[in-house]
Amino acid sequence: MSLPYVFAAPNDKNGFADWLYWHKSDHQDFVDALSLPPFSILHLPTYPLDIMVNLRDKNWLSAHANIHSVINEVLGTGEGADLEAVDLTKPKEREAWYDLNYQEHRAWRTILGI
């Protein structure tokens, strides 16, 4: 189960690479769960979640936020947090972002029973 690794905000480059891997893995669990009935969603991507060029990678932030929006819509969990409007180079914003992201992952796992 990758969720505990998503909770652990990384402190350095290696930790960040690990976090990216586990975070993508957690998203893959949602793709797998949502591909089954009653959801049967077959078009939910995980790309490019395993590759973030750097902390200013707006394409990654945008793609990730879109994936979160789709899952929130499907699960009826409301609009969710704004995970796109963040400057990950700022430690306080980054810390808050990791927590918001984790909270949504945790809520989805509870709903999906995974």
Residues that bind Zn ion (CB under 5 A): 101
What number of other Cβ atoms are within 10 A of residue 110's Cβ?
A: 9
Q: What tokens were used for 61?
A: 């932030």
Closer residue to Zn ion, CB minimum distance, 28 or 37: 28
Cβ-contact 53, 60 below 8 angstroms? yes
Closer residue to Zn ion, CB minimum distance, 80 or 101: 101
Residue nearest Zn ion, CB atom distance? 101
Q: In angstroms, what is the minimal distance from the CB of 105 to Zn ion?
A: 6
Q: In angstroms, what is the minimal distance from the CB of 21 to Zn ion?
A: 13
Distances (CA, A) of 79 to 21, 63, 65, 104: 26, 16, 11, 11
Distances (CA, A) of 65 to 32, 54, 86, 113: 19, 16, 11, 22
Closer residue to Zn ion, CB minimum distance, 97 or 101: 101
Q: In angstroms, what is the minimal distance from the CB of 52 to Zn ion?
A: 12
Q: In angstroms, what is the minimal distance from the CB of 103 to Zn ion?
A: 10
Closer residue to Zn ion, CB minimum distance, 9 or 37: 9
